[in-house]
Chains A and B, each alone.
Chain A
Amino acid sequence: EVQLVESGGGLVQPGGSLRLSCAASGFTFTDCSINWVRQAPGKGLEWVSYINSNSRTVYYADSVKGRFTISRDNAKNSLYLQMNSLTADDTAVYYCARQPYDNGAVGSFDYWGQGTLVAVSS
C-alpha cells in the first residue's frame, strides 16, 4: 500500500523557518518524482515545489522561490521542504504528492499524504 506521511508542521513566527518531512512507503521511491502542494485554510490547492528522482531537476512556484528548498534522501525514502523567511501567506496544510513517473516535469499526483499544518503567526 502506497503511503506518504508528512511531519514537521507547527506554529512559527513571521520570518522564521521550518523543515517539513514526508516519509514514503509501499512503492519504489526512486521511480517517482515527488511534489509539495499546499492549501491555505478555506482556500484552494497551490502547487509549491517538485523534485525528480535523482534530485537534479527541481521547480518552485514563484510565491516560494528563493525562500523554500526541496530535497530528498532516496536511501531513507524521504522528501523534505526547508521553508525560510515565512510569512502569514505561507499558512497552509502542506501535502506531499507522488507522481507515478519521473520525466523531469510536473504531472498529475496519484497519491497524497494526509498533510501537515503550518501556521505562521506572532
Chain B
Amino acid sequence: QSALTQPASVSGSPGQSITISCTGTSSDIGRYNYVSWYQQHPGKAPKLIVFDLDTRPSGVSNRFSGSKSGNTASLTISGLQAEDEADYYCASFTSSMTQVFGAGTKVTVL
C-alpha cells in the first residue's frame, strides 16, 4: 500500500485560510469516507483533528474542516493562527481493512 500524496509544505498568514490536499486511489480515499487528519507539533505525539472525513472530535476547533472529491481529500484550516504551525497527516481506511498515512504536510504561519 503506497502512502497517500500530500504537498510537502503549505503556508499562510494569520487569519487566512489554507487547504491541504491528500490524494489516494480508488482503493482507499475514493472508495471510503473513512479519512482522518492528524496534527503533530515537534516532539509531540499526533493528535486526531478530523475523522470519518468531516467529523471533529470533542474539543477540536471548528476552524478545521474536512472534505473529499473523488480520490482526493482535503483539510481546510480557516482563520489561521500561530498555534496551527505543525505537521499534518492524512490517513485513510483501505480495501485491505488497514490504514495508510500520507507523507505529511508542514504548515507554516508567516
The verdict on A104 contacting chain B, using a C-beta distance below 8 Å, is yes
Instruction: Please tell me the size bucket of the interface on A.
Output: 20 to 34
- When chains A and B are docked, how far (Å) is the Cα of A104 from the Cα of B38? 22
- When chains A and B are docked, how far (Å) is the Cα of A113 from the Cα of B47? 10
Q: Are the C-beta atoms of A106 and B102 separated by less than 8 Å?
A: no
The verdict on B103 contacting chain A, using a C-beta distance below 8 Å, is yes
With A44-B89, A45-B38, A95-B45 as given contacts, are A108 and B52 in contact (CB-CB < 8 Å)?
Answer: yes
Residue in A45, A110, A112, A114 whose Cβ sees the most chain B Cβ within 10 Å = A45
The verdict on A31 contacting chain B, using a C-beta distance below 8 Å, is no
The verdict on A88 contacting chain B, using a C-beta distance below 8 Å, is no
- When chains A and B are docked, how far (Å) is the Cα of A4 from the Cα of B109? 31
The verdict on A73 contacting chain B, using a C-beta distance below 8 Å, is no
- When chains A and B are docked, how far (Å) is the Cα of A23 from the Cα of B15? 41
Q: How far is the CB of B54 from chain A (nearest CB, A)?
A: 12
Q: Are the C-beta atoms of B48 and A108 separated by less than 8 Å?
A: yes
Contacts of B52 in A (CB 8 A): 108
Q: Are the C-beta atoms of B101 and A106 separated by less than 8 Å?
A: no
The verdict on A107 contacting chain B, using a C-beta distance below 8 Å, is yes
Listed in ascending order, the chain B residues whose CB lies under 8 Å from chain A are 1, 3, 34, 36, 38, 40, 45-48, 51-52, 57, 89, 91, 93, 96-104
